[in-house]
Amino acid sequence: MIYSAWLSLFRWDGVAPTKVFVGLDNYGNLLTQNDVFWIALRNNAIWLVAALLLPTSIGLGLAVLLNSKFRGSHIFRSVFYFPSVLSLAVVGLIWTWIYHPDLGLLNQALTASGLQSSTRNWLSDPNIALYPVIIAATWNAVGLPMLLFLAGLQTIPEELHEAAKVEGAGPVRRFLYVTFPLLRETTLIVLAITAINALKAYDIIYAMTNGGPANSTQLLSTWMYFLTYNYNQVGLGTAIAVVLFLLTLIFAIPYIRFMTRKT
Amino acid sequence: MSQPLSTNSSVAGKSKVAIFYLALILATLIWFTPVITLVLTALKDAGDFAVNGAFSLPKFIRWANFSAAWETGVKNYFWNSVIVTGIKVPIGIALESMAAFALTHMHFKWADRIFTYILIGLIVPVQMTLVPLTLLMNALNLIDTLTGLTILYIGFGVPFGVLVMRGFFRTLPTAIIEAARIDGCSWFRIFYRIALPLALPAVISLCILDGVATWNEFILAQIFLRSDELRTLPLGLVQFSTQFSTQYDQLAAAVLIAVVPVVIVFLFFQRYFVAGMGGAIK
């Protein structure tokens, strides 16, 4: 890790015996000349916001719904958790078919329901290609927040809900004033873990768009790979890795603090 | 007065329940659409797919897709994944549970700091380590070997494993361990004879979570394996998809072959997924 940070100060192709010390030039280069770096950074930001909103809220909703003990609630929990056990490469491949312009389910369904005008070449349009990938990633990412919220819900004593019910609070108010405040700790863990995982996203981009079209779906993680291993710009690549690491730290420091408290 | 009211509300209640289940089943169907598409595509031939699309029942079930995919290379990928996962998981768990036990019960100086240090491994983006690791593996002649990949997997698995096992070991009463200590039991015997058997549920959880994670791993395999015959499943499948991009029937069959072991594990051990994730945040 430290060696990575050190390498980011050199210009090196990964093979030559000599590395040229360039100080912070690699970072300067990234910030001023490397357009794809900015695309990737913006994509990471979009991805992060989506990851903090979508899987977490869907996971919370499902957890609240499936927490009550009705017949089959366990089966439904498994159903919604299931995509999380699939590898992101597999998730990417499956969704690539769904988005296929002619044979894909999405365009076929749109055509069948008379929305022909909304059909798109989903993964080949640089303006939108990132979003279908995010949807696919969300499908995979819902399971973990759901599990964590379910675990959090189990710790809330039933009496509190009963008391609130007696006081005349409806289900919505019970959720807002009883459940949600008591899930504060769980929510913080979920947000931290989701953010850290979101910044790790890599496989699914590689499987679905390979960063394209025209680098429009590059993330810092994939662009780091391209620079380092395809273009042999090891210094630039490691500089991106350092940027990615610093971004992760924003979410990781509170998380690590939390995990090591009460010891 | 109360009689008609209660009948009324129970009818309303019943229809409410029916609507609730209907909504859930509908949501399940939508949620599983990608999986259903995958299975249907794997079972029909390419012509059927091209004419009738992905989401129609196959005209006839074509098992040949599976054997074709298997012979085209999935066989290799599959066994590579089996070997790597089969070696990584037991060694990893042995190391991780010993470390977690030492960190929670042996009360040595800096145990907390070491734990924090190990946790950092959970958050560092793997990209940060790739270049130095490439140089290291190169120096050790371990690039493009399953041995090298397995060693990396064991290393990268440590933080999560220690976290889960520590979550469990913390719940063990210290009284048992102190009593054994006073009776003159060695630390290793305490770990092996007392702590580990009690931790069996946690060990199984970790086995499963770790097994699935190893089975699914992509980026390390991509960087450290170069030759096609050594590829593990996720990597092999992506490769397969670029090579045979139009043979959806075979590709879907290949994906299904990769997914089935995970599905089986999930079906039989799903409660351990919950237990394991719970252990990770204790």
ipTM for this model: 0.82
> Chain B contact for A224, CB < 8 A?
yes
Q: Which residues contact A179 (CB under 8 A, 6 or more apart)?
A: A64, A153, A156, A161
DSSP A21: E
Per DSSP, which regions of A10-108 are E strands? 10-11, 20-21
- Considering only CB atoms, B119 lies closest to which of A80, A98, A259, namely A259
Closest CA–CA distance from residue B170 to any residue of chain A (Å):
10
Which residue blocks in B44-139 are alpha helix, DSSP H? 46-52, 64-69, 75-105, 111-123, 127-139
pLDDT at A1 over 60: no
**pLDDT score recorded for residue B272:** 76
Query: Using CA atoms, how far apart are residues B67 and B45, in angstroms rounded to an integer?
Result: 13
- Considering only CB atoms, A244 lies closest to which of B54, B125, B266, namely B125
Closest CA–CA distance from residue A57 to any residue of chain B (Å):
16
pLDDT at A82 over 50: yes
CB pair distance less than 8 Å for A147 and B49: no
The average confidence (pLDDT) of chain B is 83
Give mean pLDDT, residues A237-243.
85
DSSP A101: T
pLDDT at B24 over 70: yes
**pLDDT score recorded for residue B116:** 84
Portion of chain B with pLDDT greater than 70, in percent: 88
**pLDDT score recorded for residue A32:** 67
Give mean pLDDT, residues B165-193.
86
Confidence of residue B4 (pLDDT cuts 50, 70, 90): very low
User: Hey, of B14, B51, B128, which one would you mutate to test binding to chain A, going by the most A CBs within 10 A of its CB?
Assistant: B128
pLDDT at B5 over 50: no
**pLDDT score recorded for residue B2:** 38
- Considering only CB atoms, B278 lies closest to which of A104, A151, A229, namely A151
Task: Identify the three-state secondary structure at position A20.
Answer: strand
Whether B56 contacts B40, CB under 8 Å: yes
Query: Using CA atoms, how far apart are residues B178 and B184, in angstroms rounded to an integer?
Result: 10
CB pair distance less than 8 Å for A97 and B259: no
- Considering only CB atoms, B131 lies closest to which of A83, A103, A237, namely A237
Least-confidence region, from A66-70, A95-99, A164-168, B59-63:
B59-63
> Chain B contact for A12, CB < 8 A?
no
Give mean pLDDT, residues A144-156.
87
**pLDDT score recorded for residue B1:** 36
